[in-house]
Structure 1
Amino acid sequence: MQLLFVYNANAGRANAVLDSMHKILSPSTYDCKLCELTFGAFTERNIWKEFRKNSNVNMRFLHKDEFKKEFRSKWLPKYNFPVVLIQNENKLELFITSEEFEALHSPQVLIKLIQDRLPLY
């Protein structure tokens, strides 16, 4: 089992710079809640980094363009991003939807949600 985190942002240095500027200049219009919760303007948030490093859950992080390229199979449903999926072998299931991300207001709440849901899997 692996948790697959997919950001609502594209990969690459130029995109990272633009995203950082967007977070600083217009945070209310930034559309990647996963990015907002796990990263500050330039670096990973310490509380998230510690959780990620100390967790015994296998986690993988992709940008939406990387996800679409890797998982372009026709059987996959269209996902709204950001999203967290559970990957078991070749099967993907929703774990946290983009709509649920909108209700999260801190990394601590995201971490608690993950911890609360993991025993179910």
Structure 2
Amino acid sequence: MIQPESRLILVYNADGGWLNALKDAVWKAARPSTYPCSLCALTYGYVAMHGRWRRFLLRLPHGKVFHHRDDFAQAYPSQIITLPAILVAQKDNPPKVLVSAAEIDALPDLEALIALVSARLAIPPEALD
């Protein structure tokens, strides 16, 4: 079981900044099948995080850190992974992949992502209601 003093690191396969956010919103609307960040596609609408995902994250007893690929590369230069990804870090240890890009890419919807993260964190569903 992942310890509560751990933190989740959610890394999007998109660059940060409001201009990039605008570009991504247009891209998701115009050509969603070609959008490269499946984590963004599952957890965000065109401009804001889905309420279900936000509520799920708030109920988790873990810290949360959100990164875009550009600032993640600066924060963790030795961490070479395929994005998007969800990682977990405990105390000062290097983060480990909790949910890989391939796994996120294969998920059909937000509920499947929530179920997978819950299972990996060993959190019973009733604890999140």
Relative to the length of structure 1, the TM-score reads 0.91
State the match for 2:24 in structure 1.
19
Question: SS of the counterpart of 1:3?
Answer: strand
1:114 counterpart = 2:117: yes
Once the two structures are superposed, what CA deviation does each residue of 1:8-30 show, in whole Å capped at 9, x if it has no partner? 00000000000000000000000
List runs of 5+ in structure 1 lacking aligned partners.
none
Q: Percent identity over the alignment?
A: 32
For 1:104, which of 80, 104, 107 is the aligned residue?
A: 107
How many residue pairs match? The answer is 117
Runs of 4+ more than 3 Å apart: none
In structure 2, distance between residues paired with 1:117 and 1:18? 32
In structure 2, distance between residues paired with 1:50 and 1:79? 27
State the match for 1:86 in structure 2.
88
Q: Cα RMSD over matched residues?
A: 1.3
1:7 counterpart = 2:12: yes
1:57 counterpart = 2:57: no
List runs of 5+ in structure 2 lacking aligned partners.
1-5, 124-129
Question: SS of the counterpart of 1:119?
Answer: coil
Q: Which moved more, 1:31-40 or 1:89-98?
A: 89-98
